[in-house]
Amino acid sequence: MIKIEKPSKPPKILIGKGAKENEENCATYDSGQRKFEFQKKIYGAQSVKNTLLHAQHGKCCYCESRVRATSYGDVEHYRPKGAVKQVKNHPGYYWLAYDWNNLLFSCEACNRSHKGTLFPLKNPGARARSHHDDIDDEQPLFVNPGVEDPRKHIRFQGESPVPRTKVGRKTIEGIGLRREDLEDRRRERLQVLRALQDIIEIGKDSTDSKVKEKVREAQEHLAASIRPNAEYSSMVQDFLGT
Ligand SMILES: [Zn+2]
């Protein structure tokens, strides 16, 4: 997981239709009702998806897998919009359904199979229950890669994420960042990188121009593998010790 730099200005549809829907949902709450309807065509609009995908280099905000190769992916609500798994009768963070700061793009495995409506807090007593409460009083136990550098909380040993903080531990567990298929893919990535390191080591003193060219290519691949647009770049940073 790496820090995501979203444009500060929300896509237009969130400012227009999203804000209007939000007003209606807040009025619904104030009238005593606790059932909300959410318009996926607004928070999940193509313009929202594309802006997030661009900011996230086409990768899942949590596991850094390239999403679009195998599925459409989800516009994900960091604070779940319709319910909170740990809390009975919590209406969900309905007032953040169209809030740009609450939206990320994730793969279906991270979002649907693992995170779902989980949203643990260090201070459950301060949990916001409505738009009248202040979410800044909450201390979430899930990393928000749109706000802070996840590497403060999670580092890697080989292909496995290792927590550095309680937030890191809860995030790894809650989002399933040690799931087997993900570890397999990360392991495969490391195998390729080790092969590149071998090429560099074996060919570094060669005077043969073809070998020198291959060494240069291997060095370029390694340098590219830690950039934000590379899959599993956080793991690779730890692997290469950068
Ligand atoms: Zn994911």
Question: What's the gap in Å between 59 CA and the centre of ligand 1?
Answer: 8
Give the Å distance between the CA of 9 and the centre of ligand 1.
Answer: 25
- What is the Å distance from ligand 1's center to 156 Cα? 16
The model's pLDDT over 143-179, given as tens digits with 9 standing for 90+, comes to 999 999 999 999 999 999 999 999 999 999 999 999 9
Q: What separation in Å is there between the alpha carbon of 73 and the centre of ligand 1?
A: 9
Name the residue among 155, 147, 177 with its Cα closest to residue 60.
Answer: 177
How far are the Cα atoms of 52, 156, 185, 186 from residue 192, in angstroms, in the given order?
29, 17, 11, 10
Q: What is the pLDDT of residues 202-226, one digit of tens each?
A: 999 999 999 999 999 999 999 999 9
* Eight-state DSSP code of residue 96: G
Specify whether the CB–CB gap between 3 and 149 falls below 8 A.
yes
- Residue 78, CA distances (Å) to 49, 140, 143 in order: 15, 10, 9
User: Do 232 and 112 belong to one domain?
Assistant: no
| Helix boundaries (H) for the chain | 12-13, 19-30, 40-43, 46-55, 108, 166-175, 180-203, 209-224, 233-240
Q: Are residues 112 and 216 in the same domain?
A: no
Shared domain for 110 and 47, answered yes or no, is: yes
Residues 137 and 205 in one domain: no
The answer to whether residues 48 and 103 belong to one domain is yes
Q: Are residues 115 and 36 in the same domain?
A: yes
121 in the same domain as 19: yes
- The dihedral formed by the CA atoms of 22, 23, 27 and 33, expressed in degrees to the nearest 10: -10
Residues 185 and 133 in one domain: no
Q: Please check whether residue 2 lies inside any domain of the structure.
A: no
Q: Do residues 6 and 55 lie in contact, with contact meaning Cβ atoms separated by under 8 Å? A: yes
Residue 20 has pLDDT above 80, yes or no: yes
Q: How far is the CA of 64 from the centre of ligand 1 (A)?
A: 6
What range defines the domain where residue 225 resides?
Answer: 180-240
Question: What residues does the ion ligand 1 have nearby, CB within 5 Å?
Answer: 60, 62-63, 107, 110
Distance CA 55, CA 37 (A): 28
pTM of the model: 0.93
**Backbone dihedral region for residue 60 (phi beyond 0: left; psi -120 to 50: alpha; all else: beta):** beta
Residues 124 and 211 both lie in one domain: no
For residues 108 and 21, membership in a common domain is answered with: yes
CA of 74 to the centre of ligand 1 (A): 10
